[in-house]
Amino acid sequence: MGEKRFMKGNEAIAEAAVRAGCRFFAGYPITPQNEIPEYLSRRLPEVGGAYVQGESEVASVNMVYGAAAMGTRSMTSSSGPGISLKAEGISYLAAAMLPAVIVNISRGGPGLGSIQPAQSDYLQATKALGHGGFHAMVFAPNSAQEAADIMYAAWDYAERDRNPVLVLMDGCLGNIMEAVDLPPMREIKPEDAPEWSLSRRNGRDYQGNITPIYTEPILEGINAMAGEMYKAWEEDDVKVEEFMVEDAEYIIVAYGIASRVSKEAVLNLREKGFKVGLIRPITLYPFPKKSIRNLDYDRVKGIIDIEMTIPAQMREDIELQVMGRCPVYEYGRSGGCLLDDDGVYDAIYEIITGGDR
């Protein structure tokens, strides 16, 4: 076991990043993720890293581009409006095949929205993180511990694929305080930088540049290569929790904070004799298609999408796998209004019983 601390989800993300070898952060303040840059502004200099508060989100993500090109494990964090501003820079990271980690502690939207927690950024994260049709792996932890574990592994995925990785977590989980078993410190030395990085090219003849700009035939080839990578993710990298689904007649699909509230509802409904289960996507991209597609629809009577957003954003991905074999329902709160145990329980009960108490 590692060092255990009682800390906020945002702090767990920041400390796990440092322990994973992250040595550069650039970002800009925005609620509800401010504990991440605040923590790293103190912590990174302690380990020889660099913290920069950029003059804007646009400047910050492009600083991450430069640090990543040098082979430094680099990250930025923000919330929905800030991620929108970073979208061009994230697209450049993908085009230049640069590994970096982006954290979105989401809040209500659209627009400036509410500073309160929400799960409003599912579509942004999985479908429109930037332009040009690229994808990033998107992880959705549901606890401070899982957030730390995912952050610790995030650069391994990013460097393996030479592609940005996104961690999506709502403001409830960013500010919840829980005991976290922290991973050990990794020592990333300069000579450990990837072979392709600019830091490994000193004294060598340049045989190419790190660039997001290509001629047409090369760009098409890069896009085709990325397409094969996305297919490999679907086969090898899907992460999902299936809870009490073996005999379930109704399946809840929920991620992040919604999954924690939904699991409590499952346990309470089971006590009353209702056969309810939960599928929790841990990777939102790649989405756990097989977990939903391969359900026994002779037994399953309905799928219930629970999200802290209105309308539900994950529903289309669910329906694509259900293929009309049972109804898909949804329940959510939005704009900073939080899900609660009673509201989720009552909504599921209403769907299962048709309101018959």
Tell me the pLDDT tens digit for each residue of 111-153.
Answer: 999 999 999 999 999 999 999 999 999 999 999 999 999 999 9
Which residues 6+ apart lie within 8 Å of 38 measured at CB?
A: none
- Residue identified by tokens 């005999």 is 247
* Domain boundary, last residue among 236, 255, 272: 236
Residue 280 pLDDT: 98
Res. 251: pLDDT tops 60 = yes
179 and 252 together in one domain: no
Residues 143 and 196 both lie in one domain: yes
Are 268 and 183 found together in one domain?
A: no
Residue with more model confidence, 193 or 47: 47
* Last residue within a domain, chosen from 210, 236, 262: 236
Q: Looking at residues 47-51, what average pLDDT do you find?
A: 97
The alpha carbon dihedral of 93, 316, 82, 13 has a sign of: negative
Residues 59 and 129 in one domain: yes
Given a cut of 70, whether residue 182 has pLDDT beyond it is: yes
The predicted pLDDT at position 189 comes to 82
For residue 109, the domain's CATH number is 3.40.50.970
Contact partners, residue 282, CB within 8 Å, separation at least 6: 139, 140, 141, 142, 146, 239, 240, 241, 255
Query: Do residues 230 and 207 make contact, with C-beta atoms less than 8 angstroms apart?
Result: no
Give the pLDDT band (50/70/90) at residue 357. very low
Predicted model pTM: 0.95
Of 208, 236, 264, the one marking the end of a domain is 236
Rounded CA Rg of the chain: 21
Q: Are residues 124 and 268 in the same domain?
A: no
Same domain, 152 and 95: yes
Taking the C-alpha atoms of residue 161 and residue 24, their distance in angstroms, rounded to an integer, is 20
* Residue 248 C-alpha from the chain's centroid: 27
Please report which confidence band the pLDDT of residue 202 belongs to, taking 50, 70 and 90 as the band edges: low
Regarding whether 282 and 231 lie in a shared domain, the answer is no
Task: State the CATH number of the domain containing residue 318.
Answer: 3.40.50.920
Domain count, the chain: 2
Are both 65 and 196 inside the same structural domain? yes
Give per-residue burial for 43-64: e unless 16+ CB within 10 Å, then b: bbeeeebebbebeebebbbbbb
Assess whether 132 and 264 both reside in one domain. no
pLDDT of residue 232: 98
Position 201 pLDDT exceeds 70 = no
Which residue segment(s) compose the domain that 23 sits in? 4-236
| Residue 286 and residue 240 in contact, taking contact as beta carbons nearer than 8 Å | no
Q: How confident is the model over 253-290, as pLDDT tens digits?
A: 999 999 999 999 999 999 999 999 999 999 999 999 99
Same domain, 208 and 227: yes
Considering the domain architecture, whether residues 19 and 123 belong to the same structural domain is answered as: yes
- 286 and 228 within one domain: no
